Amino acid sequence: MSQFFYVHEVNPQTRLISQAVSILKSGGVIVYPTDSGYALGCMIGDKDAMSRIARIRQIDNDHNFSLMCRDLSELSTYARVDNQAFRILKNNTPGCYTFIFKATKEVPRRLQNEKKRTIGIRVPNNVIALALLEALGEPLMSTSLILPGNDFTESDPEHIRDILEHQVDAILHGGYLGEKPTTVIDMSEGEMVIVREGSGDISPFL
């Protein structure tokens, strides 16, 4: 049975964040809040945890996961970003965007788009998510929590608990979130292509 943490939405309790980090580092899968609904997360190199997430969502292991980052300091480690793209990201993060770039060799092949060798990068505008990433000290492998048969990201942590308490190791209750999908911008080929228009303002990328 998973642990269920009531995390303060403005001042996340350090003790609870530390416990969540310990669970991740022990090979755990967690549910945590972002600025686009709740997400599933695990450590980047944890193949078993990744497979568990794939089973929960009933998706293939080659599904496009994203790297959730605390800020842009980690960007060059995992993505090939030129100066112009970096400036654009700096002006629009944190925010409700997923940016797609060519992946570096630091990104495990199973996390990359099989054909394009790309990776999605997120810097979420959510206090709990940022506190978690800061304490973890590295990006989190992540995917939106969209349950099989549903079209939308889960937003009710109590409902998530009812369904997943025996399938994940921790659920971070960070409030009831609206359905706010990210805007997806593909910058992998040098140009900016809007793949999906979500709640992130697309005007800076037109």
Tens of pLDDT, residue by residue over 142-190, are 999 998 888 888 999 999 999 999 999 999 999 999 777 899 999 999 8
pLDDT at residue 61 tops 80: no
Counting Cβ atoms within 10 Å, is residue 129 exposed (0-12), middle (13-18) or buried (19+)? buried
When pLDDT is averaged across residues 36-62 and rounded to a whole number, the result is: 89
- Measured over all CA atoms, what is the biggest interatomic distance in the chain, rounded to whole angstroms? 47
pLDDT attached to residue 62: 57
Q: For the ranges 11-15, 103-107, 155-159, which has the lowest average pLDDT? A: 103-107
pLDDT at residue 130 tops 90: yes
Q: For the ranges 7-16, 57-66, 144-153, which has the lowest average pLDDT? A: 57-66
pLDDT attached to residue 112: 72
When pLDDT is averaged across residues 49-54 and rounded to a whole number, the result is: 92
- The percent of residues above 90 in pLDDT, for the chain, comes to 75
When pLDDT is averaged across residues 52-71 and rounded to a whole number, the result is: 84
Domains along the chain with CATH numbers: 1-194 (3.90.870.10)
pTM for the model stands at: 0.92
pLDDT attached to residue 93: 94
pLDDT attached to residue 63: 64
Determine the distance from the C-alpha atom of residue 116 to the mean position of all C-alpha atoms in its chain, rounded to a whole number.
20
Q: Does 112 or 173 have the greater pLDDT score?
A: 173
When pLDDT is averaged across residues 31-44 and rounded to a whole number, the result is: 95
H/E run at residue 50: helix 47-57
- Separation between Cα atoms, residue 67 and residue 81, nearest integer Å: 15
- Confidence class of residue 44 from pLDDT cuts 50, 70 and 90? very high
pLDDT attached to residue 96: 94
Distances (CA, A) of 95 to 3, 16, 46, 155, 200: 28, 24, 26, 18, 7
- Separation between Cα atoms, residue 103 and residue 175, nearest integer Å: 33
- Separation between Cα atoms, residue 199 and residue 197, nearest integer Å: 7
